[in-house]
């Protein structure tokens, strides 16, 4: 039996929430009082910094594994989260993503389908399952994580970009369709945030100076935008770009090639 106090505590499901950007989003929601359902594709082991931050803030969380290369696992994931917490999530953050390197001249059907499965099909099926469940709270919402490149798409990471364009389209459709249930659907479009080892300090400084604000977003900036949308009861169908102004300009290539 789940206690009344726990039932009254909101739950947030964050896909990819055990690491990298998803971890920062999870931390912001956890500090705001949400109990967390953290999804991982193959495991839910927290990155060291996140485990320490959760312990310091006394964040309550549980991990769930679902391989979104099989998108139908999304429906089972929603059932598992609902059963564990005693009610469906109040907030769904679709943060998990596949990011491969391909262009028009070498992209394959397998590339396209793998990216679509993880980046578009799984979020759609999760949203479907989310809308079919009941929660004791009002103001339920979905936040999809997109990409600032969608305003001015280039040819790099083609399969990834196309899958994110599909998710952006779904954000608008779902906002219209789910409004009647009181479910809000929005998105955050990050710019270059957590760079890989391919970006040295010199390159990061150069890219920072290429942004209209002369600033690259920090992961906390994206997390704060997600938290805002989770709380903004009158906002739906919106995309917030958190990118230092990058969406205002057109870049010929992905940042790793500039």
Tell me the C-alpha distance between 84 and 81, whole Å. Answer: 5
Instruction: Give me the catalytic one of 34, 160, 199, 251.
Output: 160
Instruction: For residues 258 and 254, give the distance between their C-alpha atoms in angstroms, rounded to a whole number.
Output: 7
Tokens 């989310």, residue located: 130
Structure tokens at 164: 């994110």
Q: What is the CA radius of gyration of the chain?
A: 18
Is 116 among the residues known to form the active site? Answer: no
For the chain, the distance separating the N- and C-terminal CA atoms, rounded to the nearest angstrom, is 56
DSSP per-residue letters across the chain: ---HHHHTS-EEEEETTTSHHHHHHHHHHHHTT-EEEEEESS--PPPHHHHHHHHHHT--EEEEE--TTSTTHHHHHHHHHHHHHSS--SEEEE---------TTT--HHHHHHHHIIIIIHHHHHHHHHHTS--SSS--EEEEE--GGGGS--STTHHHHHHHHHHHHHHHHHHHHHGGGT-EEEEEEE-S-S--TT--HHHHHHHHHHSTTS-PPPHHHHHHHHHHHHH-TT--S-EEEESTTGGGS--SS-GGG-
Catalytic residues: 160
């Amino acid at each position: 039996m789940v206690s009344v106090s726990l039932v009254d505590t909101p739950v947030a499901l964050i896909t990819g929430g055990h690491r990298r950007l998803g971890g920062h989003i999870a931390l912001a929601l956890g500090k705001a009082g949400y109990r967390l359902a953290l999804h991982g594709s193959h495991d839910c082991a927290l990155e060291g910094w996140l485990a320490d931050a959760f312990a310091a803030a006394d964040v309550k969380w549980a991990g769930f594994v679902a391989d979104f290369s099989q998108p139908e696992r999304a429906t089972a994931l929603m059932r598992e989260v609902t059963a564990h917490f005693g009610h469906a999530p109040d907030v769904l953050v679709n943060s998990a993503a596949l990011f491969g390197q391909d262009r028009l001249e070498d992209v394959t059907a397998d590339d396209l389908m793998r990216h679509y499965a993880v980046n578009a099909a799984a979020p759609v099926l999760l949203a479907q399952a989310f809308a079919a469940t009941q929660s004791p709270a009002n103001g339920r919402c979905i936040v999809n994580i997109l990409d600032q490149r969608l305003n001015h798409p280039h040819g790099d990471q083609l399969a990834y970009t196309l899958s994110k364009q599909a998710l952006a389209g779904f954000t608008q459709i779902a906002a219209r369709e789910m409004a009647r249930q009181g479910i809000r659907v929005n998105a955050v479009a990050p710019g270059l945030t957590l760079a890989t080892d391919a970006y040295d300090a010199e390159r990061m400084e150069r890219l920072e100076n290429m942004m209209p604000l002369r600033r690259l977003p920090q992961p906390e900036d994206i997390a704060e935008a997600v938290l805002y949308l989770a709380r903004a009861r009158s906002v739906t169908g919106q995309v917030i770009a958190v990118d230092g102004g990058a969406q205002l300009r057109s870049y010929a290539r992905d940042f790793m090639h500039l």
